[in-house]
Structure 1
Amino acid sequence: MSDAMKSLYQVVQQRKETFTEGSYTCYLFEKGLDKILKKCGEECSEVIIAAKNKENKDTENEICDLIYHLMVLMVEQGIKLDDINNILEERSKKIGNLKTFHTTDHNS
């Protein structure tokens, strides 16, 4: 996991624990889960639009916005960054394991 991701997560945690005047993160925590979820949805839509427009720089920035808002959601829900990292590590071990799909014989 990158140091930047760890640092961002720590800042978000600190904002949840200690109110800082003028902090957007504190504002999100103050408004609650519905606002956080709304922002996650908005940012996800913005990623889609930027990607569809094939504007890589815009897409990169929107992905960063989405990751930030997802981290706010994680902290709000008590989800640890290490827990997500562990799940990703487990999933990476499955790369190359092709799933077998059920096939139907349409001739019978």
Structure 2
Amino acid sequence: MSSFTLADLERIVAERATSADTKSYTASLYAKGIGKASQKLGEEAVETVIAAVSSDRKGLISESADLLYHLLVVLGISGIKLGEVLEELERRTAQTGLEEKAARGHD
């Protein structure tokens, strides 16, 4: 098991977001803004679903990595820390999934 964490990825994304390196994909996504970054997140979500329903294990791993990366980019551009998302997940796990979903009042 890898010791690499989403917190590590969040830190790397934040560092690269302000990079002057013209070859930095992360810096280019930040420069293009939330619209383009969100579009990429959506594309990666669709590709992840396709890999999952196709039972493409290798593809699902690869696309999931892309999805997590792009999610952290969108969160970073939006000024949202991974810790805030984890706190929300922790709050939600204090009750059953069906109770939590009912409490949200939508879906």
Same structural fold, with TM-score higher than 0.5 when normalized by the shorter chain: yes
Higher RCO (CA-CA < 8 Å; seq separation 6+)? 1
TM-score range, shorter chain: 0.7 to 0.9
5+ residue gaps, structure 2 = 103-107
Tell me how large the CA RMSD over aligned residues is: 2.0
TM-score (norm 1): 0.81
Higher CA-based Rg? 1
Is 1:39 matched up with 2:40?
yes
5+ residue gaps, structure 1 = 102-108
Question: Equivalent residues in 2 for 1:7-18 (5 A)?
Answer: 7-18=8-19
2-structure distance, mates of 1:21, 1:49: 32
Runs of 4+ in 1 over 6 A off after TM superposition: none
Report deviation, 1:97: 5.9
Question: Equivalent residues in 2 for 1:66-85 (5 A)?
Answer: 66-85=67-86
Q: Secondary structure of 2:5's match?
A: helix
Percentage of pairs with the same residue: 35
Aligned residues: 99
In structure 2, give the amino acid aligned to 1:89. E
1-structure distance, mates of 2:33, 2:4: 27
Report deviation, 1:32: 1.3
